[in-house]
Structure 1
Amino acid sequence: MTDHPADPGETQHTARIPDHSSLWGYVSQWRHQQPDEEAIVFEGKRSTWTELAASVETLVKSLRDCGVRRGDRIAMLSWQCPEFVITYLALERLGATFVGLSPRYKLPELAFLLQDARPRVVLISASLGDGLSGSSVAGELRENHPYVKTIVAMHGMFEGAIAFDELLVGRTDHSSSAPEPVGGACSQWLGEEEPPICIVYTSGSSGQPKAARLPNRSLLHNYRVGAELFYHKPFRTYNCHPIDHVGGIDRLYQTIMLGGVLVLDQRFEPERVLEQTETERLTYWLGEATQYIKLAPLFSSFDLSSLQVVRYVGPLPEEVLKALHQIAPVVMTSYGSSETCASLVFTDESTSLEALRDGNVGRPIEGFVMRVVDTDRNRIVGDVGELEVKSEWIFGGYGTETNAPKAPLTEDGWFRTGDLFKENGDGSFTIVGRVNDVYKSGGYDVHPTEVEAVLMAHPRVKIACVIGVPDSTFITVGRAFVVFQSAVDTEQLREFLRERLAGYKVPKEIVVLEQMPLLRNDKVDKNKLKHLEG
């Protein structure tokens, strides 16, 4: 049985997005074609493409004056904000690397990441919240991180920093002194000859966070090809994802490529998202499954008629999928990771609601080959195995230095994702879960996502998560954590499961929570659940 990519004729459309070799190429295009059109909206302030381009050019000059050069790393501790977009674009022009840091981190966590990344410049929001202050972080930098040469304050001021606004003061035209976009055409950016455009730290579920180096050429290719699948004009979207997550740069790339409008917000708040959708006439949503579960009960209270495409990540209950189909013509899902440099597989309009409910994530985009393999790494179809990916458009490897080891591939060039999938007969793929999440109960493999899907099919279950816990008789058994929409007896819920699952799959324990613990990207925090008592 041979490996094969998706049939391009089945999933691809005629390209409508120019293939520029940099984000700056797109910004330049829109600055000339639609100079006075909105580009960014944040807290009532609106910036045009002309204003965005001018800010980037000024910041390039200011950062060069601060000593920033090709290959330097620049860190930012903030929520979503225009300064993030401007800085990211400026660093692309300089050939420097962006490192996002989450305000949800505590000082010891930040200290570890800073020591690993060793940034030359750190930009810090003065309004972080969650017990963290810009001044406390600046104090940590001055005391323990001598490689940080410049501290920049945003959204306020604190001692020992220069104001971001000061970096944007000066001549409005620095085109004569600003460097050209680095590297030329994407086809010339091979391997690690160019520094990564950004470093994203993985969640660290198996230990300390690892720095994944993301090449700009890969992100440009993957976001462009992906955006072709949901292309529409006008394109108006919303982003409150953390800037230290690949989801945080997703809408940045897509909006710039499509010449659309990017509405930014600091945190996810359901009512706020819906208000912005109504007032800003948003056309495109992308969010985690848990976010849509929180949004769905509120849909009827807002005018969401502007929505054209709703895209989600993670398993959704059927009732939420039905609610999404009622508010948008196109509902789609996808799969990807930091290591794959964004989503590499998408569903389309032909994917049925039942397939979406069962975890179908569609077919791979141009430039990617996917296969599911058994424990001997033989390709299998119709059975569950580990997903492997082959492509030139993936990450550069782990580690912050340019000369760090390249992406860990098998001898025959495949990247092992650690995710469990099933390849379907029609060439689409269904996600089953993480290899490390599967547990063996009484000698049988149990896939938590299968059990979670059945739990969330119950009309009174809002969200569910299943993990394996030690058991003296069966070695491992399931423990389900659930949040109810309305109260239900756990024994009735267990009977609901018994009617739909083999006995060994039914969790031995069901723990009712008021609220599901979430990571900073709004995915369920399974590590925290493991430390909760049943």
Structure 2
Amino acid sequence: MIFDRKQQRLLLEGKEYTSDDIARFVAEGAENYPSAIWDLYLFLNEWFNDSSVITVHTSGSTGTPKELVARKDQMMQSARLTCEFLNLQAGDTALLCMNLRYIGAMMVVVRSLVAGLNLIVRPASGHPLSDISEPLKFAAMVPLQVYNTLHTPEEKEQLKQTEILIIGGGAVDEALEAEIKSLPIAVYSTYGMTETLSHIALRRLNGNSASGHYYPFPSVELSLSPENTLIIKAPLVCDDILQTNDIARIYPDDSFTILGRKDNVINSGGIKIQAEEIEKVLRPYIPMPFVITSVPDPRLGQAVTLLIEGQLDMEELKNKVQEILPPYDCPKYIRMVDFIPQTGNGKINRVECRTLAEKLL
């Protein structure tokens, strides 16, 4: 692997480019290149400059989007951990199909530079495999991209030609995981955040080694706070010990599961309700995007609220909800909306969902 940025080369669809080539392309201007390639060149131009750091944006799924400064040497260590775990080798094809504003896409590029992967670039879209014809060794996608791919026969066949798929940027729900289990490739869900420079743990979703647990990289130490939120010590990729808002359970073999986020706990009448747990139960019965959120309530403190994107038979839905949920988990309010607010990389924007619910009620 190559950790000296001056020695790194971009291998793009079989052709090798130096940092000088990238600088020349940028000087020629955006009008000469497709937007996805231009975004790649802009990122690489910043990667190859003299600065030891680079600016990364958080998604803003649980709060205001922020800018973070990431160390390039730590990004390369993150790339090494993933490439070693997945046994990615020089010349292996890797698909970049996510927005380079965010760390997940950036790390696909850094892995290609460190390990000499052959990068295939497509615009960030819901159908990243729609015009891919060659087999891929490695791809990284968000859950929505995987869902769309599995529901488009030609794209699903192409996905079957991809050896390794990692899924990040959001939770993989039970229905999607069930579809993934039949794929003849290695599929992993990732756990991480912008601050950990992509993932620090992986969970195999299919095959003989499929598991409900995430397994951290060997250099990562995990513990729990008094509130059972996950604490991460990952010195190779992050200088600080990270106190997350993810409520977790750690097992004797150091694996862990995520139960939900502390921010998404709804305190309704003194009972603490995890929004993600209700969503998990409801998912098989609501065939469109939805979210569990809350609104202020003078009696309960917070009232559980269900927002659904689209239209359903309200009476039938209420009866089903009352049938499958305990009384204290049942939404006090159900509202149909035009859309569920999302962040730029496709995650549910929980803050905007609460704001929307308050406006509606």
1:472 to 289, 293, 298: 298
CA deviations over 1:403-447 (Å, ceiling 9, x no partner) = xxxx5xxxxxx3212222222344321112222221211111111
> What is the 5 A alignment of 1:3-402?
18=1, 20-27=2-9, 39-41=11-13, 48-49=15-16, 52-53=17-18, 56-59=19-22, 81-96=36-51, 195-196=52-53, 198-203=54-59, 209-232=65-88, 235-270=92-127, 273-277=128-132, 279-299=133-153, 303-304=157-158, 305-313=160-168, 314-348=170-204, 351-352=209-210, 355=212, 360=213, 362-375=214-227, 385-395=228-238
Q: CA RMSD in A?
A: 3.1
1:518 to 339, 342, 352: 342
Shift in CA distance, 429/478, structure 1 to aligned 2, threshold 3 Å: same
Question: 1: CA distance between counterparts of 2:155 and 2:72?
Answer: 40
Question: 1: CA distance between counterparts of 2:266 and 2:44?
Answer: 44
Matched, 1:440 2:267: yes
Deviation, 1:453, is: 1.2
CA deviations over 1:92-130 (Å, ceiling 9, x no partner) = 44322xxxxxxxxxxxxxxxxxxxxxxxxxxxxxxxxxx
CA deviations over 1:123-181 (Å, ceiling 9, x no partner) = xxxxxxxxxxxxxxxxxxxxxxxxxxxxxxxxxxxxxxxxxxxxxxxxxxxxxxxxxxx
> What is the 5 A alignment of 1:399-438?
407=240, 414-438=241-265
Which blocks of at least 5 consecutive residues in structure 1 are unaligned? 1-17, 32-38, 42-46, 66-77, 97-194, 376-384, 397-406, 408-413
The answer (yes or no) to whether the contact 2:307–2:335 under 8 Å persists in 1 is yes
Question: 2: CA distance between counterparts of 1:336 and 1:387?
Answer: 11
The answer (yes or no) to whether the contact 1:80–1:241 under 8 Å persists in 2 is no
The answer (yes or no) to whether the contact 1:421–1:431 under 8 Å persists in 2 is yes
Question: 2: CA distance between counterparts of 1:439 and 1:80?
Answer: 42
Which blocks of at least 5 consecutive residues in structure 2 are unaligned? 28-32
Question: 2: CA distance between counterparts of 1:85 and 1:57?
Answer: 15
Aligned to 1:229, the other structure's residue is in SS state: helix
TM-score (normalizing by structure 2): 0.83
Aligned to 1:524, the other structure's residue is in SS state: coil
- Equivalent residue pairs, number: 348
Shift in CA distance, 259/203, structure 1 to aligned 2, threshold 3 Å: closer
Shift in CA distance, 248/296, structure 1 to aligned 2, threshold 3 Å: same
Equivalent residue letter for 2:102: H
The answer (yes or no) to whether the contact 2:126–2:148 under 8 Å persists in 1 is no
Question: 1: CA distance between counterparts of 2:250 and 2:217?
Answer: 15
Equivalent residue letter for 2:189: T
Deviation, 1:456, is: 1.4
Deviation, 1:316, is: 2.9
Shift in CA distance, 308/482, structure 1 to aligned 2, threshold 3 Å: farther
Shift in CA distance, 514/320, structure 1 to aligned 2, threshold 3 Å: farther
Aligned to 1:387, the other structure's residue is in SS state: strand
Shift in CA distance, 341/307, structure 1 to aligned 2, threshold 3 Å: same
Aligned to 1:275, the other structure's residue is in SS state: coil
Shift in CA distance, 343/302, structure 1 to aligned 2, threshold 3 Å: closer
Question: 2: CA distance between counterparts of 1:312 and 1:474?
Answer: 37
Aligned to 2:182, the other structure's residue is in SS state: helix
**Once the two structures are aligned, what percentage of the paired residues are identical?**
18
The answer (yes or no) to whether the contact 1:225–1:366 under 8 Å persists in 2 is no
Aligned to 2:178, the other structure's residue is in SS state: helix
Shift in CA distance, 79/419, structure 1 to aligned 2, threshold 3 Å: farther
